[in-house]
């Protein structure tokens, strides 16, 4: 087995996958648009550095409310970019500039980051001795904020201060940056229960609201489409087709219902949820994410008025369904709200020349950032060939969480994984 994938983020401990997996998903979205599969292993460190910064910036664009608020650490061992503009030159606390040392990194620093670039040495000193871990007080005392109005400025900052992302506290600093860029008041307004924690107190895993914030820019707590009325309460879900998808084994266990917007994203990349971990599924087959057809739109609207999933609605509700469908179709046929419907738009919507459909076979790749969950303890993209069977009979296998999760999206799927090794969701 070779080295880790150059473009793969490596997760050392449990918990931060709610930040790491969405960043990896956006990184893969960018990579799929730029590179063929065979070139993944040929990526340079500089290219992977750029991919990581681009992925972070795309997430922040979705979260921005009024300004980008970048959270950094200042103090001993953490530097600022030097005024020279040299992306490798940094400013120390005493105002002097230097280039990062090529000496081995300090204890506790992960040497495998996304770009396989050596992160800055993390020194945490108390007097003359180096401490083994952060305390909450020491960490928060060194927090600093810097505001930027434009995403280009954010990109430039991270390019000149790459260690902010790759040092030991990089995941936490990025999480704080997302929260500050979104704004805590806006986050609380989108959550159904403002008292619910975004991170589990005991296990340190992220809530669904935090996962949704990282993927869509909205901290809504549910994965269904739009809002659902449950006992008189309006519970918020995903309000539009997402750039990155989400599927979860928990749906098969009937703990939740993932809507069309998440199952059918704009790009063939899905974050996959188990009961304890997040991983990423992706494919080079663009036909897996073809635009929503009129039939799919009608089915989605129908389900909004069938909250129990019984596949029927009372007769008097039909008028509401048709009105909702008309409004949606009008917005699709007249997106600029000109008050007219063009013949070409009408014909292409209802009578397309080519019927877009999911192919019967396609490639799938899977990322799990925990080394011990990978063959040979090296983070590699697992590769598989998927087949959609003609039978309507679903092959259930409770001992195969991967297949169980995939069937929530493709009910008749079978996958032949390379080496006959099914990748782990945990």
Q: Kindly list the catalytic residues.
A: 17, 277
d(C-alpha 415, C-alpha 403), whole Å = 8
The dihedral region occupied by 232, where left means phi > 0, alpha psi between -120 and 50, and beta the remainder, is left
- Please report, for residues 134, 147, 196, 287, the alpha-carbon distance to residue 373 in angstroms, rounded to integers and kept in the order given: 27, 38, 30, 30
Of the CA atoms within 13 Å of residue 237, those in its CB half-sphere come to 20
Ordered DSSP codes for 180-219: HHH-HHHHHHHSS-TTS-SB-TTT-PBPHHHHHHHHHS--
Tokens matching residue 127: 């007097």
SS3 141: helix
d(C-alpha 387, C-alpha 362), whole Å = 7
First to last CA, the chain: 21
Of 343, 417, 413, which Cα lies nearest the Cα of 375? 417
SS3 14: coil
């Amino acid at each position: 087995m070779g080295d880790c994938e150059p473009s793969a983020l490596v997760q050392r401990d449990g918990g931060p996958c709610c930040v790491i997996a969405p960043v990896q998903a956006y990184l893969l979205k960018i990579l799929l648009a730029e590179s063929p599969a065979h070139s993944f292993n040929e990526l340079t460190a500089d290219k992977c550095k750029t991919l990581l910064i681009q992925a972070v910036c795309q997430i922040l664009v979705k979260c921005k409310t009024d300004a980008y608020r970048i959270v950094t650490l200042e103090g001993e061992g953490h530097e600022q970019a030097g005024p020279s503009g040299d992306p490798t030159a940094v400013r120390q606390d005493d105002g002097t500039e230097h280039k990062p040392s090529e000496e081995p990194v300090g204890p506790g620093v992960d040497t495998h980051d996304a770009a396989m670039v050596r992160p800055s040495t993390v020194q945490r000193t108390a007097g003359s001795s180096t401490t083994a871990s952060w305390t909450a007080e020491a960490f928060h005392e060194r927090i600093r904020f810097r505001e930027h109005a434009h995403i280009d400025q954010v990109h430039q900052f991270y390019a000149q201060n790459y260690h902010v992302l790759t040092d030991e506290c990089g995941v936490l600093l990025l999480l704080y940056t997302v929260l500050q860029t979104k704004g805590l008041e806006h986050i609380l307004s989108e959550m159904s229960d403002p008292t619910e924690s975004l991170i589990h107190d005991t296990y340190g895993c992220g809530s669904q609201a935090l996962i949704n914030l990282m993927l869509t820019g909205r901290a809504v707590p549910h994965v269904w489409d739009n809002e659902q009325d449950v006992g008189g309460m309006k519970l918020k879900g995903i309000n539009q087709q997402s750039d990155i998808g989400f599927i979860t084994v928990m749906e098969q266990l009937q703990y939740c219902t993932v809507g069309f917007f998440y199952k059918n994203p704009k790009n063939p990349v899905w974050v996959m949820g188990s009961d304890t971990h997040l991983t990423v599924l992706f494919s080079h087959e663009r036909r897996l994410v073809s635009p929503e057809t009129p039939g799919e739109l009608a089915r989605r609207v129908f389900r909004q008025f069938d909250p129990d999933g019984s596949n029927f609605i009372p007769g008097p509700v039909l008028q509401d369904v048709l009105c909702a469908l008309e409004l949606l179709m009008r917005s699709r046929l007249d997106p600029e709200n000109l008050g007219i419907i063009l013949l070409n738009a009408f014909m292409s919507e209802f009578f397309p020349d080519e019927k877009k459909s999911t192919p019967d076979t396609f490639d799938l790749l899977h990322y799990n950032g925990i080394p011990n969950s990978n063959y040979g303890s090296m983070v590699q993209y697992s590769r598989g060939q998927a087949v959609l069977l003609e039978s309507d009979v679903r092959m259930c296998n409770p001992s195969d969480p991967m297949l169980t999760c995939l069937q929530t999206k493709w009910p008749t799927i079978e996958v032949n994984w390379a080496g006959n090794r099914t990748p782990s969701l945990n």
